[in-house]
Structure formats: structure tokens, C-alpha cells
Structure 1
Amino acid sequence: MPVDAAPAALLWDFDGTLADTEPSWRIAERRFLAELGVEVDPARQTELIGLSTEASAARMLGWAGRDDFDPVAAGALVEGYAFEVISSEPVPFRPGARELLADARAAGVPCALVSASSTRILRRATRELPEGSFDAVIGGDTVTHGKPHPEPYLRGAAALGVEPGACLALEDSRPGLASAEAAGVPSLGIPFAQELAPGERQRIVRTLDGVGFAEASALWRELTDA
């Protein structure tokens, strides 16, 4: 492999990777749980990170012992609460994320946003980024199977016309890394609220601060040589 080889595309997770929106989701989930009459240890909410809204809603309904509530409807309710919070203030981007995104775009590398969040949340957030920052947006409401299923990352790669193995995924959650792995996409894990473990085609970096496209490409080469 040429020493200057680089990924053909970057596939970005949103919550916790590009933006510090996990607290907004925790607020929305606690609001929903309170309506169910349930109080859950905030530490336990980390189990929900990276899951689709339907899957996380189903888990919360299980905590409440409510088998009479449709998880799809519950997920839509929680998503609405999260949208209210996220829309009420500027999006807090994660350290180094915007810089890496801009560096990749300057190099002519296409990027896709691949997230469990709904398309309207993602569109709201990307309004605060330079126009054209993302060539494709794959929201949780546009896939049949959410993370950890491979569909989201397969859809992201296909939307950019790139083979999965030629991409680099950026993720902060265990379900997200599992999704990328199942799709055959090498990935960087950037821990936020969950501890992550490296894998054969995964590397862990503590922050994207100081990680430009050249550094990301070097890590990608390590992964694709593995």
C-alpha cells in the first residue's frame, strides 16, 4: 500500500463524536422516564448510547415494566424532546471534530453523517457548519435497522459511492463501532460516555484534538494493513 494512501471517505457518527449532544438525549430520556413514573440512575443511561431511538425506548419501557407502549411511538416522543433541547441552543461540537472535518474537505475527501439521531436533528446541527460539509446524511429514521446492525454504515458508504473498506468511521459508542465493524469499515473510537476497546480494525484515540486528515490517514493505513 502506498505510504500516502488515505481513506476515500469519512463516515461520521453525530452524538458524542461530532457534537456533545449526549446530555441533551439524557435530559429527553429522563423526561420520558419521569412521565412513566420511573427514576433511573443516570449511570445506567449510558446503556442507551449509540442505540436507535426505538431500541433505547424499548429498553426504557422494559425498565418501567410497560409492555403496553409501542416502542416506535415512545422513540418518536423521546426524539421530539431531544429535538427541543438541541434546537434551543448552539450545537456544542466536540474537540477537534470540526477541524478534522474541514481538513478532510480541504483534501477533497467526501464525508457522510451516519447517526441514530433523526434527520431533522442532523439537519439542524449541520446548519452550524460550512455549507457542503457533508455529502450525505443517514439519519436513524432512514434505515430499517439501526446500529449495531451494519446497515447505517453500508448506507453511508453507498451514498458516497465508496467501498466500505475504503472508508474510515468515527465513533464514540460500542454499538456504533459494532455497526462499522459488521459493515467492514475501519474505525476510530473516540470515547465519550462509554469506555471503548480496540479491535482488529479499530483504534482508540482519546480525542480528535490535533488529529488532522494526515494523522487519520496514517491510522487508517494501520487498520487496513492489519
Structure 2
Amino acid sequence: MAGLPARIVRDSRLLLLDFDGVVTTEAEDVGLKAQTLSVFAAIGAQFGERALKMVRLAGRAIYDAGGSLQLGPLLYHAAKLLKPVDAPIEPTLARLIAACTDSLDYRGIAPAGENLREALARLKERGIEVAILTNGVRENVFRVLALKGLTEMFPPEHIFDAISTLDKHGKLHPKPDPKGYQFVLRELGVEPGSCIVVDNSRKNVRAAKREVGCGGVIYIGNSLKAKDRKVIDHLSPSFVHLMDEIVTVLGRADIVEPGRIGLPLDEHISAPVD
């Protein structure tokens, strides 16, 4: 695949990031996900065997409906099963989330490099906001960002999880549901065409491009399937590498200076070839 299209950066107002495997490295993501059994054990220890059974039932229901077992939707549906009748869901959900995040071992999370911090600051100088949309839970995002030293780069109101997308009918809209993306864009006051979505899931970026109309979609990975080449705008091996590419684009005079004629739509900077 060709390099990063300069037009995507030039026209953007928002960089909307997945969290697991994007802001966290692939190794960090694998390390945290490998602790899933300990998370379930913590729920059983703090809530009892019935709670653990409810989590398993919620997981089965999500799986049977064709969804993937991601932490945010799983805990939400488990809380619905566990909460007292006619009681609000929030207290039970908060206890479940705390049980999970308190049991995770975060020692494998490494501080972010200075280059990444500078790149994020450069985006803000350019007027491009950065936000996170994850199918995990915000509390986990907060803890990881603190360990990486990136808390000030991501205001709390710019961090969204699947639970954030809850509608008035009590339904979640986790990725790749287009309503989840649309919710975030409405909250931040950004048009789809001005948003770049960055994810390590091909189905998520396909939905963002085809169903939401986002101006650019970037896949974090090492290869693309042929069917994705006309949908995904750019392939980058890591978030850190992508940010280096974006800074290179922003450093060009015809991109940075207001009122100047931008690059042709097909002009790119160099990047790894698939």
C-alpha cells in the first residue's frame, strides 16, 4: 500500500483511536487480555458464584447474537442480570468494572516515548483533536494512560467506551455498529468527513468508512486482504509509526500554512509497502 495520503490529515479535525492494540502495543494488549480468567475469578470472589454464572450467561447471549466477547458489553449485560429488580444498573455495573480493573496486573505497561507525546501535542497545535473509542471500559483506559504518562493528552470527555453509547432504549452500540461512531461524532461536534478512524480491526474501519462516511480510515497491522485495499486508506505497522508519519505530513509547508494550496489527492509520503 502507498504512503499516508496527505489529504486525510489536511482535512481532518479528529483522530479517533481504538485503544487495545493501538494506543497499547500489541504485546501490552496480549498481556492484559491473557488475564481474562483472573478477571472472571475476581468477579466470582467479590460477587459470588451466581455473579460468575451471570457473566457466563451474558457472554453466551452476546456470542449467540453474533457479537464478540468484549469487556464493556459483557459487563453491562452481566450487570443487567445481577442488579436487583427495579434498581438502576449503574451501582452494580460500577462494582463489576472495579472488580475487573482492580484484578488486572498493569506492570507490563510501558511509558510512552517522548516522540509520541510530541506528536500528540503537534496534532493539537494543528487543531486536530484526539479521542478514543473502545469496546473495553473507560476505567481501564484511564489506568493505562496514567502509566504511559498520556493522561493530559486525552481529556476524560474524549474517552468513550461501549457503555458510553447506551441509547434511551437501553441498547449498546459497540464497534463496528455505526451508531457508536455517530454518537462520538455528535458528542464532539465533528462531521464524519473530518474524522480519521484508526483501528486494528478491519471490520471496524470498514464500517467507519462505508457506513459512517469517515474521511479516512487507517488500519494498524502488517498486511491487508485484497478486498480491503479500496476501503482502507492506509496501513501502518504501529500507532507510534503512524504518528511519525502524521508529523512528517504536518511538517510540510503546503499542509501547515493556512491558505496555501494543499498537496494533490494522490501525493503521499513514503511508508511501508504491503
* TM-score between the two structures when normalised by the length of structure 2: 0.55
Report whether the alignment pairs 1:105 with 2:118: no
Unaligned runs of 5+ in 2: 1-5, 45-51, 53-67, 83-92, 166-171, 256-261, 267-274
2:154 match: 133
1:159-187 residue CA offsets vs partner (Å, 9 max, x unmatched): 22111121101111234324423322221
Residues of 1 paired with 2:110 and 2:81: CA distance? 28
The range that moved more, 84-93 or 14-23, is 84-93
SS at match of 1:204: strand
SS at match of 1:211: helix
The range that moved more, 199-208 or 149-158, is 199-208
2:15 match: 10
Residues of 2 paired with 1:124 and 1:56: CA distance? 20
Which protein shows a greater Rg? 2
Unaligned runs of 5+ in 1: 37-49, 58-68
Report whether the alignment pairs 1:31 with 2:38: yes
Per-residue deviation, 1:98: 4.3
Could you tell me whether the CA contact under 8 Å between 2:19 and 2:134 is conserved in 1? Answer: yes
1:138-161 residue CA offsets vs partner (Å, 9 max, x unmatched): 112212210111123222222221
- How many residue pairs align between the two structures? 196
Residues of 1 paired with 2:140 and 2:130: CA distance? 18
- State percent identity of aligned pairs: 19
Residues of 2 paired with 1:160 and 1:92: CA distance? 29
2:237 match: 206
Q: Which portions of structure 1, spanning 4 or more consecutive aligned residues, are displaced by more than 4 angstroms?
A: 32-36, 54-57, 69-74, 76-82, 93-99, 216-219
Structure with the greater relative contact order (CA < 8 A, sep ≥ 6): 1 or 2?
2
- Choose the corresponding residue for 2:101, options 83, 89, 93: 83
Report whether the alignment pairs 1:183 with 2:209: no
One-letter identity of the residue aligned with 1:5: R
Is the alpha carbon distance of 1:180 and 1:72 closer, same or farther for their aligned partners in structure 2, counting shifts above 3 Å?
farther
Residues of 1 paired with 2:174 and 2:189: CA distance? 21
Per-residue deviation, 1:52: 3.4
* TM-score between the two structures when normalised by the length of structure 1: 0.65
1:117 match: 136
One-letter identity of the residue aligned with 1:103: R
One-letter identity of the residue aligned with 1:204: L
Is the alpha carbon distance of 1:183 and 1:93 closer, same or farther for their aligned partners in structure 2, counting shifts above 3 Å?
farther
